[in-house]
Amino acid sequence: MLTYSFSDIGNASLYEHLYHSIKEDIVSGTLKPQDRLPSKRSFAKHLNISTITIENAYAQLLAEGYIYSLPKKGYYVSDITELVYSPKSDRVHASCASEASSSAFKQESDAGVSVVKEAPVAYQVDFASNQTCAERFPFATWMKLMREIMAEKSTELMTNPPGIGIPELRAAIAEHLQQFRGMQVSPEQVIIGAGTEYLYGLLIQLLGREKVYAIENPGYTKIARIYAAQQVAVRHLSMDRSGICMEELEQSDCDILHISPTHHFPTGIVTSINRRNELLNWAAASDGRYIIEDDYDCEFRLMGKPIRSLQSLDQMEKVIYINTFTKSLTSTIRISYMVLPPHLMELFQQKLGFYSATVSNFEQYTLAKFLREGYFEKHINRMRKFYRNQRDELLSCIKKSPLSSKVTITEEDAGLHFLLRIQSSLTEAQIQQKAAAKGLRISSLSQFYHGTYEHTVPTFLINYSALRLEQIPMAVELLGQCI
C-alpha cells in the first residue's frame, strides 16, 4: 500500500501534504494510469490519519483531473499524458524554506527538503474560471474615489480601524442590504473581513469547534476543505429540487447548516419558500443550531424577480448572512462581510473582539463611497446586461452548432454559469481530457460531489464570466470537437 511520511511538513495541513505527495507520484510515473488508489478507510488506517484527510486529498486530485472515480469501485489514476500542458516540475534543493517562492510547495526526500515549482497551466478557453474581464471593472470611477478619499480622509487613513470594519462601510452595507435584499439590519451587526474564507474561520471560533457542521452535496468543494483544515466534524447532505434534503438534515447530528439558498452552486437550485420555512423551524428547535446563508452571487439573477434572503425571513435570530464583493466587483478585491444576529454579535465582541482589521482603511473607505454614492448599483446594472448578452450569445452559438442535438441546458437564468448535459458514449473524465488536449478547461458536475458519484449523462458547468464575446464561437467549436 502507498506509504507517506507526515513528519516535518511545515505549515502544510495533512491533506495538502498527502495531495501533493500523491500528485508527485502521478506526475513522476510512480503511479501509473488506471492504477487503483487505496480505499479511504484502509488508507486512513494504514497512514494513521483521519478519513476526512483522505477524502479532502482525493477531492482535490479529482477536481484537478489527476484521478477519476468509478461508482462502487473507487478511485483510479488518470492518464495525464494527453494533456496539452502536462504538469511539470523543476526540483531544486533548498537549504532554507524561506528561499522558496510563493508558488512552490515543500516535499520530503531522502536528501532533505526540496522545493517543487509548478508551471501554470494555460488554456485557450476557460469555462471553469469565475474571474471577470479586466475591462469590466470601473477603474476610472474607482481611481476618482481613491483620490477623493486621500484628500478627505488623510487622518482616518493613518488611524487603525475597528477590527470589525470602519463604521462608514458597515453602514453602507446595511443600507445596501435593506434596499436590494429587503433585510432590516443595523450597521452594528456587520463584520468586514478579507474574503469569506477568513469569515468562515471566525464563525468556527465563535460557534465552537465541537459543533457538527453540515454542507451541501454537491457543493463548493473549498468549503469542505476549509472546515476540514479547521478540524471540525462535517456532514455532507444531499440536495433535492427544493434545496437541502430535510430528511437527511433531521436525521443528522449537525448543529450548523451552511447553505446557498438563493442560487446553489453548482446545480443552480433555488431553495423553495416551503423548504426555507422548514429550515428555519429546524434551526429554531434547538438553542445551539444556526444556519449560515452564503449569498455569494445573488446580484446576478438574470431573469425573474429577486429571491428573498433567508435572513429576511428569520424571526428567531438563527441565520448568519455572508456575502462578498469578489463576485460583483472582481475576485482580486478581497472584501467580504457577514451579518450576525444581535446576540451573536455581542458574543463575538466578548470572545473575538481582540482581532485586528484584515482589510485596509483605504479599500474600506473607497468601497463605502462607491456604495453610498450609487456607483455599485450602476455597476451591477451594467454587469447584468453584459452577462445577459454573454449568456445569450453563448446559448445562441450552441443552438446553431451541431452540439444542439446532443446537449440539454438547464439553470441558465441565475448566477454566471449553467449546466450542460451531453448525450455521449464518453465519460465526463474522457470528455475533460479531450477538452484539455484542445486547450479547453471545463468542470464536471461530478467534481463537486462528496465521495464517488458518476452521472449517467455527462454534465458540465459552463461558467462564462471570464469569456470574451469574440471567444464564444471558437469555444463552442472546440467543445463540439470533444464529443
Q: Which residue has the cell 481582540?
A: 354
Q: Is 238 left (phi over 0), alpha (psi -120 to 50) or beta?
A: beta
Residue 253: CB atoms within 10 A of its CB come to 8
- Sheet-wide strand order for 89-93: 89-93, 112-118, 104-109
CB burial class (10 A; 0-12, 13-18, 19+) of residue 433? buried
Q: Rounded to 10 degrees, what is the CA torsion of 293, 415, 375, 181?
A: -40
Is the separation of the CB atoms in 185 and 342 below 8 Å? Answer: no
User: What pLDDT sits at residue 453?
Assistant: 72
Q: Do β-strands 190-193 and 125-126 pair in parallel, antiparallel, or remain unpaired?
A: unpaired
Radius of gyration (Cα) for the chain, nearest Å? 23
Cα(33)–Cα(46) distance, integer angstroms: 23
Tens digit of each residue's pLDDT (9 = 90 or more) over 286-345: 999 999 999 977 766 655 566 789 999 999 999 999 999 987 888 788 899 999 999 999
Name the average pLDDT for the chain: 85
Is the per-residue pLDDT at 242 higher than 80?
A: yes
Find, among 337, 340, 279, the residue nearest to 310 by Cα: 279
Query: Is the separation of the CB atoms in 390 and 469 below 8 Å?
Result: yes
Contacts of 259 (CB under 8 A, 6+ apart): 215, 216, 243, 244, 271, 279, 291, 292, 293, 294, 310
- For 112-154, write each residue's pLDDT tens digit: 333 334 444 567 888 888 777 667 788 999 999 999 999 999 9
Q: Where are the beta strands (DSSP E) in 133-207?
A: 190-193
With a cut of 60, say whether residue 381 has pLDDT above it: yes
Backbone angles phi, psi at 341, to 5 degrees: -55, 150
For residue 73, the model assigns a pLDDT of: 84
Give the span between the Cα atoms of 175 and 180, in whole angstroms.
Answer: 9
Least confident of 210-214, 337-341, 382-386: 382-386
Q: What percent of the chain has pLDDT over 90?
A: 51
Alpha helices by DSSP H, listed for 354-374, are 361-372
Cell numbers linked to 82: 494527453
184 three-state secondary structure: coil
What is the per-residue pLDDT across 433-447, written as a single tens digit (0 to 9) for each?
A: 899 888 899 999 998
d(CA 471, CA 467): 7
How much is the pLDDT for 140? Answer: 92
pLDDT, residue 168, reads 97
| Residue 414 binned pLDDT confidence (cut-offs 50, 70, 90) | low
Dist CA 98 CA 108 (whole Å): 16
Q: What's the confidence (pLDDT) of residue 306?
A: 64
**Residue 127 gets which letter from DSSP?**
S
* pLDDT at 109 > cutoff 50: no
Report pLDDT digits (tens) over 340-367.
999 999 999 999 999 999 999 999 999 9
- Is the confidence at residue 233, as pLDDT, over 60? yes
For residue 474, the one-letter residue type is M
Which of the given ranges, 11-20, 58-67, 280-289, has the highest pLDDT on average? 280-289
Phi/psi of residue 391, nearest 5 degrees = -60, -45
pLDDT of residue 136: 79
Classify residue 7 as exposed, middle or buried by CB count within 10 Å of its CB (0-12, 13-18, 19+). exposed
Query: Residue 68: enclosing H or E segment and its boundaries?
Result: strand 67-70
